Structure 1
């Protein structure tokens, strides 16, 4: 009946999956998705699917993305986040570079498991900005590979998504900087932050490296250094 109607079949499928996920989650935890948020979660999940699949055909012909020198005096911040549902935790990774492309500091951290990927990424970007402020930096370029989030941060309007309040909190933190800009990059240009997320799998609280990165991220870090 659905396939023969004018209904959005992709959205219907995502709503059905979200209802199943909510029922399954509620069986093990009282903090399952509230029923009134099912439609919004389904829509966000569909947006994530579209975002993840749109660049797939273009990735083969795009040049490798690496460090691009920001203006003098600006620091580049790369961040990433991932869900580890088997551990009921999420992990975030942050790296801050100076204007010469050298690492200022890096961070891996474990956080309580949010409900969606978007919420995880939003928590990650908030932690990245707080990390920069803790280091006394006030002029930054923030780069992330989650397009939905980066577009929301670039817009002045209030997001209606379930993570809208989290995004608004990030914008409030951003007001603490003298100069700040947001930039969407592909995963190829965010490998170090992604590897810091993987390292966070072994972190209970958080770990910080000053002017350094964990040993297993050295290859991706050195590959992203500017060509002398």
Structure 2
């Protein structure tokens, strides 16, 4: 009997002149912490920067995802990336980001502040399936073992190389 394999999600490059930023959040109720994962890649899929950050556990997973968006935008600004595609797997958060009006949800202020507080020329937001967000997801899960913030320039943690490579197969 054949075991069904999950549908592959092919990695797609950002448009010319853009970088691609994937974000994700995770919660660890057992240790009362949450975490953020961000990876920035160029049009060839090369990692330009990545981060794992542990934060205090927030009231909802949507707030954690909103914090991951904000961290992604601030991280890109810190590295002087002003044109980027932002991808995440939270439909609610991506819909709120695409909406021209500020969300009245508890996370709306976080998103509105992040979108307007940096000198960014162009941002596009895309919803992707969880399988297409595996590097950011694993960076968020890795933050369970990180005190505060850990940044890798032009790299990801060594144990995530395989995850990064499988995105391109």
Question: TM-score if structure 2 supplies the norm length?
Answer: 0.92
Matched with 2:129 is: 186
Matched with 2:159 is: 216
- The answer to whether structure 1 residue 162 and structure 2 residue 106 are counterparts is yes
Matched with 2:53 is: 109
- The answer to whether structure 1 residue 92 and structure 2 residue 36 are counterparts is yes
Matched with 1:196 is: 139
Structure number with higher helix proportion: 1
Q: Cα RMSD (Å) of the superposition? A: 1.6
Note if contact 2:83-2:122 (Cα within 8 Å) is conserved in structure 1.
Answer: yes
The structure whose RCO (Cα within 8 Å, separation 6+) is larger is: 2
Q: Deviations over 1:122-176 (max 9, x none)?
A: 0011001111111111110000000000000000122121222112212213x62
Q: Deviations over 1:88-124 (max 9, x none)?
A: 1111100000011110011000011110000000001
Note if contact 1:66-1:188 (Cα within 8 Å) is conserved in structure 2.
Answer: no
CA–CA distance in 1 between the matches of 2:123 and 2:143? Answer: 27
Structure number with higher strand proportion: 2
1:70 aligned residue (3, 14, 21): 14
Q: Deviations over 1:1-38 (max 9, x none)?
A: xxxxxxxxxxxxxxxxxxxxxxxxxxxxxxxxxxxxxx
**Match of 1:87, SS?**
coil
- Between Structure 1 and Structure 2, how many residues are aligned? 166
Cα 1:86/1:63, change in 2 over 3 Å: closer
Any stretches of 5+ residues in structure 1 without a counterpart?
1-59
Q: Deviations over 1:155-205 (max 9, x none)?
A: 0122121222112212213x6211210000000100000110111110011
Q: Which structure is larger by alpha-carbon Rg, 1 or 2?
A: 1
Question: TM-score if structure 1 supplies the norm length?
Answer: 0.69
CA–CA distance in 2 between the matches of 1:76 and 1:101? Answer: 9
